[in-house]
Structure 1
Amino acid sequence: MKKEFAVIGLGRFGGSICRALSEEGMEVMAMDVIEEKVNEFSSIASHAVVGDSTDESVLKSIGIRNFDHVIVAIGDNIQASILTTLILKELGVKHITVKAQNDYHEKVLNKIGADQIVHPERDMGKRIAHSIMSNNVLDYLELSDEHSIVEIVASQRLDGHTLISLDIRAKFGINIVAFKRGKDIIVSPQATEVIRKGDILIVIGADVDIDRFEKTMIGE
């Protein structure tokens, strides 16, 4: 089943998250207090809602607790961001990612239980979208418009196989440049290296090839 996401706040940051998730075929609900912004995303997101996220009754009415992941991307209104996060926690939302304006904001968000805190100045919307879309993708670094380095957790499908038996480079056009196994890091692994479930694979290649590899060999 596809994960369902809700993006609250459709500024530059929230908008980029919403677009990236939607482009990947995810179910996304877009929400903002400004009707013009909501209208802009009505044809992009699965659902677009005008509403005040600091009003608990509004969040309840749209069934916010049923979403797998809620991204609070409210702009300059730190108070609204904090209050929204607090309400989401009290309603039992499974996973909450919040945009922080500064270090003080981040400290407050940590205290009230935000699961993930991001700073748009350091983290592009596309990178965050990739990391929250899949439990297997731990990190994502964009090298160019079409190429990236990704940390992917090895699934049961890869357990016990060697690089040479999987023939990943020939089949997918990507390279596994390193493994992380516990505290150990294996750089430039040999073709006979055996992959274990839970290993963190450092993969480099074209985005389309990495995506194909993840969906074919990683998806559980």
Structure 2
Amino acid sequence: MKKTFAVIGLGRFGGSICKELSREGMEVLALDLDETKVNEYREIVSHAVMADSTDEFVLKELGFTNIDHVIVAIGDNIQASMLTTLILKEMGIKMITVKAQNDYHEKILNKIGADQVVHPERDMGRRIAHHIISDNILDYIELSDDHSVVEVKAGEKMGGQTLIDLDIRAQYGCNIVAIKRGKEVIVSPMAAEEITKSDVLIVIGADKDINRFEKHLVVEG
């Protein structure tokens, strides 16, 4: 059966989630206190409602107990975000993802039972920072506080060398888990695989090791 989603808060973050889930054919209930925003999403999502998410009776009336995954994307009102999360938890919602404004907010959300806490602005800031270090760094995804996945263009320094030659695992403590070569994706590449300068490498490792790898092999100048 198709999963059902609810998104509370139709700012940039919540709105983009609504659009993407709807584009993927998911059933989405969108909720906000702002009538203008609600009207904007009426033609995009399955249902768009103007309502107060801190009112448990309203959420039950709207059928939230039947929703598989609720995303709390409330903007600046931290109190409303926390109270909404608490109500959803007490209602027995299977999966609750909440947007955090800061680390303090995240700590409270974790204590009251949020299943997943996201920091879109902070995480995007990190990704952009890594990208602007070098044009060769295409993307950066944080896996934990100290481990990440980075997507990089091989460039001149690595072009023409094999994975054995580069010995990235021994030299930097990172692992190349895949190589994107045009439309082809090579998963778990062999040690004898020769890198071309136009390859895109998917590298996983500890942040400190990835930073050394970036400085020595990726950043060109």
Instruction: After TM superposition, give the deviation of residue 142 of structure 1 in Å.
Output: 8.9
Matches within 5 A, 1:36-185: 36-123=36-123, 173-178=183-188
| Structure-1 separation of matches of 2:150 and 2:69 | 21
Q: Is the 8 A contact 1:177 1:189 kept in 2?
A: no
The superposition leaves residues 133-169 of structure 1 with CA deviations (integer Å, 9 ceiling, x where unpaired) of: xxxxxx99899xxxxxxxxxxxxxxxxxxxxxxxxx9
Q: CA deviation at 1:121?
A: 1.0
Question: Matches of 2:120 and 2:40 in 1, distance apart?
Answer: 21
Aligned-residue Cα RMSD (Å) equals 2.9
Contact 1:100/1:117, CA 8 A, preserved across alignment: yes
AA paired with 1:94? K
Secondary structure in 2 aligned to 1:70?
A: strand
Letter in structure 2 aligned against 1:113: G
Segments of 5+ residues of structure 2 without an aligned counterpart are 125-147, 153-179, 192-201, 203-221
Output one character per residue of 1:98-138: Cα deviation in whole Å (capped at 9) or x when no partner. Answer: 000000000000000100000011446xxxxxxxxxxxxxx
| Cα drift, residue 65 of structure 1 | 1.5
* Matched residue type, 2:49: V
- Counterpart CA distance in 1 for 2:122 and 2:72 is 17
Which AA in structure 2 matches 1:78? I
Secondary structure, counterpart of 2:75 in structure 1: coil
TM-score by length of 2: 0.59
Post-superposition offset of 1:175: 1.2
- Extract structure 1 runs of 4+ deviating beyond 4 A: 139-143
Separation in structure 2 between the aligned mates of residue 51 and residue 58 of structure 1, nearest angstrom: 7
| Structure 1, gaps ≥5 residues long | 125-138, 144-168, 179-187, 191-201, 203-220
Percentage identity across paired residues of the two chains: 72
Structure-1 separation of matches of 2:63 and 2:190: 47
Whichever residue aligns with residue 89 of structure 2, its letter is K
Contact between 1:11 and 1:73, CA under 8 Å: does it hold in 2? yes
CA contact under 8 A between 1:96 and 1:115: conserved in structure 2? yes
The one-character-per-residue Cα deviations of 1:18-54 (angstroms, maximum 9, x if unpaired) are 1111111111111001111100000000110110000
Amino acid in the other structure paired with 1:18:
C
Counterparts in 2 of 1:23 and 1:110: CA distance versus 1, 3 Å: same
**Counterparts of 2:76 and 2:8 in 1: how far apart (Å)?**
13
Inter-partner Cα distance in structure 1 for 2:149 and 2:96? 19
Larger radius of gyration: 2
CA–CA separation in structure 2 for the residues paired with 1:112 and 1:142: 35
Tell me: CA distance 1:189–1:21, structure 2 relative to 1, closer, same or farther (3 Å): farther
CA pair 85-189 structure 1, distance change in 2 beyond 3 A: farther
Taking structure 1 as the reference length, what is the TM-score of the superposition? 0.59
Secondary structure of 2:28's match? strand
Count of residues in Structure 1 that have an aligned counterpart in Structure 2? 145
Map of 1:24 onto structure 2: 24
